[in-house]
């Protein structure tokens, strides 16, 4: 199992999140920043991934709505992908 620790402190935009995830996770080049794209990658490649997102509460306020949708997408992907584990910590 591959464990990834993702510190979300101070992220301010979808693009910053996308760039940061691209640096921290082995995402394919074709992965875009749409939630559907992340879902596809997580379900296709994430069967042996354990992703731990922390400092979620330290994301800048204007990202709140997107982060909620991102968390739901991650929960859905993990629920449908044996071996994929995703956790979020404040």
The per-residue pLDDT for range 80-89, each reduced to its tens digit, is 999 999 999 9
Q: Which domain holds residue 74?
A: 2-88
Flag residues of the chain having pLDDT under 50: none
CATH of the domain at 25: 3.30.370.10
pLDDT given at position 64: 85
pLDDT given at position 61: 78
Whether the CA torsion 77, 83, 42, 55 is positive or negative: it is positive
The phi, psi pair for 20, rounded to 5°, reads -65, -45
Predicted structure pTM score: 0.93
Q: Contact, 40 vs 81, CB < 8 A?
A: no
Domain count, the chain: 1
């Amino acid at each position: 199992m591959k464990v990834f620790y993702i510190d979300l402190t101070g992220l301010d935009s979808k693009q910053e999140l996308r760039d940061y995830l691209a640096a921290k996770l082995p995402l394919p080049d074709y992965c875009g920043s749409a939630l559907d794209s992340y879902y596809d990658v997580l379900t296709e490649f994430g069967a042996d991934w354990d992703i731990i997102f922390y400092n979620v509460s330290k994301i800048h306020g204007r990202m709140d709505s997107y982060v909620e949708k991102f968390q739901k997408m991650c929960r859905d992907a993990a629920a449908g992908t044996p071996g994929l584990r995703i956790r979020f910590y404040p």
